[in-house]
Amino acid sequence: PPNKCRIQKSCPENHFAFKIISGAANVVGPSICFNGMILMSSVKNNIGRGLNIALVNGTSGQLLKADTFDMYSG
């Protein structure tokens, strides 16, 4: 099967795969993938300019909260 989050290597047992893409201006939006599940992306319409952060339970891998912090507007 393909690796989770389209990373090149498989993760060892008891580890989570993740991939963070920062985006490119307003052309390509940022995205966060964790253990094969897209947590934040332009398709999910839950990203914004500034810092896009996803809080994940380190034991279960469950998404606890996702939010954006606009550092430009203060």
β-pair type (37-40, 51-56): unpaired
Per-domain residue ranges of the chain = 4-69
- pLDDT digits over 1-31, tens only? 567 888 888 888 888 889 998 877 777 788 9
User: Does the pTM exceed 0.85?
Assistant: no
pLDDT recorded at residue 31: 92
pLDDT recorded at residue 57: 93
β-pair type (63-69, 18-21): unpaired
Separation of CA 66 from chain center: 9
